[in-house]
Amino acid sequence: MSAVQKELREITSREYQYGFVTDLETDEAPRGLNEDVIRLISSKKNEPEWMLDWRLRAYRHFLTLKEPSWQNAHYGPIDYQDIIYYAAPKPKTAGPKSLDEVDPEVVAMFNKLGISLGEQERLSGIAVDAIVDSVSVGTTFKNKLAEVGVIFCSFSEAVQEHPDLVRKYLGSVVPYTDNYFATLNSAVFTDGSFCFIPKGVRCPMELSTYFRINQADTGQFERTLIIAEDDAYVSYLEGCTAPMRDKNQLHAAVVELVALESAQIKYSTVQNWYPGDKDGKGGIYNFVTKRGKCAGANSKISWTQVETGSAITWKYPSVILKGDNSVGEFYSVALTNNRQQADTGTKMIHIGKNTRSTILSKGISAGHGQNTYRGLVKILKSATGARNHSQCDSLLLGSECGAHTFPYIDVGNPTAQVEHEASTSKIGEDQLFYCRQRGIPVEDAASMIVNGFCREVFKELPMEFAVEAQKLLSVSLEGCVG
Amino acid sequence: MMLKIRNLCASVGGKEILRGVNLDVRAGEVHAIMGPNGSGKSTLAQVLAGRETYDVTGEVLYEGRNLLAMPPEQRAVEGVFLAFQYPVEIPGVGNLYFLRTALNMVRQQRGLEELDAMDFLALAKERMKLVEMDQSFMNRSVNAGFSGGETKRNEILQMAVLEPKLAILDETDSGLDIDALRIVASGVNALRSKERALVVITHYQRLLNYIVPDRVHVMANGRIVRSGDKHLALELEKNGYADFEQDTAGGAFRAAGATS
């Protein structure tokens, strides 16, 4: 091993900094998955009958499914009966919660994560829905948003307060029969965020959800539903962390976006779940279904993701381009280090005329990491004049990691234009030496080169997130040349 | 003495490339190192800059200190600069940002305050005139999509901004047309000073019409086999390198295109 490699290995072996556990008094469901557990979750949330029915239908369908094995990721069997499906920090006061009543321990935990739950302290104009394990513990700026007609609340609250909207849109993009993990989620989901931007409203601040897994042996199954009516606009951010544990934890979320005519939804994720240790012990299984529907003409949905965490990431934020002239975008940086595995990409389904989609994927593999881009561009017969441009670049750091690309293209209309570009490069000793010869130390050089590689994607992130993403990337380059 | 090289040997994968180089360079001097492909000129430059691919023995003193013990980034901030023969591309990293980062590393070493973006821009603009570069260069990624001439001008710009004490120019003239050669050479000449030493590695004499050296050395088979003043370069131009290659011990002729 050369000196450069040794140094890189040392400087990048930093610990996961969000790996702490907060001692919260927790209300848990018994371990295991069965109808009683689902009924228990539903009753804890005081759900209406239709919601319980939906869950049970999903559960019964789940029993008929087999866990998928086509993804390019390898892991031992998951014991679904050994998972706790509901865990909630016990509220210290009874009755309706206001932000002032949030358990100070919870507030302290979020402060430690750099997330402020106080509205006054928040200068940056971002509203936050904070979710711990299975429940939302508080949503900021709710009242201010309500003034312009924007609904931003926890999913549980939406079921109580806005049942018509939930019933109308829940499962309309990702039906409960969609896939194994989405079906599981539909049966046992516990909370999540709900956003509704009414016709003609440009949401005055960024909305965000911060997910935190705290309890051991729990799974997190949240559901996010965002609806932008005609001419509405919203930018939504999502962040997440979890404690360091030896055992794998399952995170199977579902996100549904609906954009009506001329509406725009921009959805950004910085995913930093605990990735496991150097030898691949522990870490989150991040099996997520994210899909948006451009239901109306001239609508636009844009996904930007920076995936640095999780032992295994398995997600394909997708767009169904139903409305004529609608636009779908997918910008992704996925980094796998040590024993991490990522199989991620997107699906762009062109249905409407003159629909356009852009895919830009940057995969970085280091250590023994395995990084797979998997993407589908499907042009239906009806999608006259549809266009897609895909670019998938991979960067390898070291020689024991891997990068894989599986593009699927299915064109059913002869007027469509589809372009696909791909490249794989290795972070070169030449690049590192060039930087060092100009006085830039090797660790700065490596992070400079990797950040340069990702720049086109970072440009798509909201400012604050872009800075965070850059920092995260530097920290995540553990043992990056081997 | 700025640079003192004694019996410097370097090999890669058991193959000897430098076989005992001796050289003295004083501040203010310009030395030209000439020689055929495969004679070890570029290896000498890389070894001085700290490239770790080589097994190195011998002694190199830089301002009286053991240069070989320093990592490349330390050599750089201590004032050793290599203008690369083939500068690499770093996509997505802005040329301006890269150069400012490098300068601030050097300034840190010299006990100077970091330059902020505005002050740096003013400095960079001034130095860009030396190599007739326009500002559009600065917003592009480091060397990405640059022509051969542009990369070389960029190297000289970096040198002009970083103000090294010892600059090694590795075949800076290769791949340049006559106009670009003139621009690069006048940029280099503007940086000649009493405090600065230049080691100019070149295959051809023509660069030395523009950058007139104090000393000329001929390398063959990993050694400096002859030294002289600027007239030696003209002699080489006339007679070629063949004589030197036969002169040297172990003088199997190396095919052009081997390590140079």
Q: Which residues pair with A395 in a beta bridge?
A: A364, A425
pLDDT at A4: 46
Q: How far does the CA of residue A268 sit from the closest CA of chain B (Å)?
A: 21
Q: Which of A331, A395, A434, A457 has the highest number of chain B CBs within 10 A, making it the mutation to test binding with B?
A: A434
Q: 3-state SS of B48-96?
A: HHCCCCCEEEEEEEECCEEHHHCCHHHHHHCCEEEECCCCCCEEEEEHH
Q: How far does the CA of residue A167 sit from the closest CA of chain B (Å)?
A: 46
Under-50 pLDDT residues of chain B? 249-260
Contacts of A431 in chain B (CB under 8 A): 88, 90
pLDDT at A440: 94
Residue at token pair 């999780």: A310
Which tokens in the block code for residue A62? 């789940």
CA atoms within 13 A on the CB side of B4: 7
pLDDT at A476: 66
Per-position DSSP letters for A177-206, written without gaps between them: TS-HHHHHHHHH--B-EEEEE-TT-B-SSE
What is the ipTM metric for this complex?
0.92
Q: Are residues A439 and B76, on separate chains, in Cβ contact within 8 Å? A: yes
Q: Which are the contacts of A330, defined by CB distance < 8 A and separation ≥ 6?
A: A302, A303, A317, A318, A319, A345, A346, A348, A357, A358, A359, A360, A361, A375
B88 touches chain A (CB under 8 A): yes
Looking at residue A228, the DSSP 8-state letter turns out to be E
Whether B40 and B18 have beta carbons less than 8 Å apart is answered as yes
Contacts of B144 in chain A (CB under 8 A): none
Average pLDDT, chain B: 89
Q: What angle do CA A146, A149, A152 make, to 5 degrees?
A: 55
Q: Is A159 helix (H, G, I), strand (E, B) or coil?
A: helix
pLDDT at A216: 64
Tens of each residue's pLDDT in chain A, 482 residues: 444 455 444 444 455 666 666 666 677 777 888 888 899 889 888 999 999 999 999 999 999 998 888 777 777 788 888 888 877 766 554 444 566 666 777 677 666 666 666 654 444 556 677 777 666 666 777 788 888 999 998 898 899 999 999 999 999 999 999 999 999 999 999 888 899 999 999 988 888 887 776 666 677 788 999 999 999 999 988 876 666 666 677 888 999 999 999 999 999 888 777 777 777 777 788 889 999 999 999 999 999 988 888 788 889 999 999 999 999 999 998 888 888 888 889 999 999 999 999 999 988 888 888 888 999 999 999 999 999 999 998 888 877 888 888 899 999 999 999 999 888 877 778 899 999 999 999 888 888 888 888 888 888 877 767 777 777 776 666 545 43
Q: Are residues B158 and A438, on separate chains, in Cβ contact within 8 Å? A: yes
Query: Taking CA atoms, what residue in A is nearest to B87?
Result: A434
Q: Which residues pair with B238 in a beta bridge?
A: none
Looking at residue B163, the DSSP 8-state letter turns out to be -
Q: Positive or negative CA dihedral for B15, B21, B27, B32? A: negative
Question: How far apart (Å, rounded) are the C-alpha atoms in residues B185 and A197?
Answer: 63
pLDDT at A481: 45
A424 touches chain B (CB under 8 A): no
Over the stretch B139-189, which tens digit does the pLDDT of each residue have? 899 998 888 888 999 999 999 999 999 999 999 988 888 888 898 899 899
Question: How far apart (Å, rounded) are the C-alpha atoms in residues A237 and A303?
Answer: 10
Q: Positive or negative CA dihedral for A454, A455, A460, A463? A: positive
Contacts of B71 in chain A (CB under 8 A): 3, 436
Question: Which of A439, A451, A454 shows the shortest C-beta gap to B77?
Answer: A439
Phi/psi for B200 (5° steps) reads -105, 115
Relative to beta strand A254-259, strand A283-294 is parallel
Q: What angle do CA A380, A381, A382 make, to 5 degrees?
A: 90
pLDDT at A83: 82
Q: Which are the contacts of B161, defined by CB distance < 8 A and separation ≥ 6?
A: B99, B102, B103, B123, B124, B127
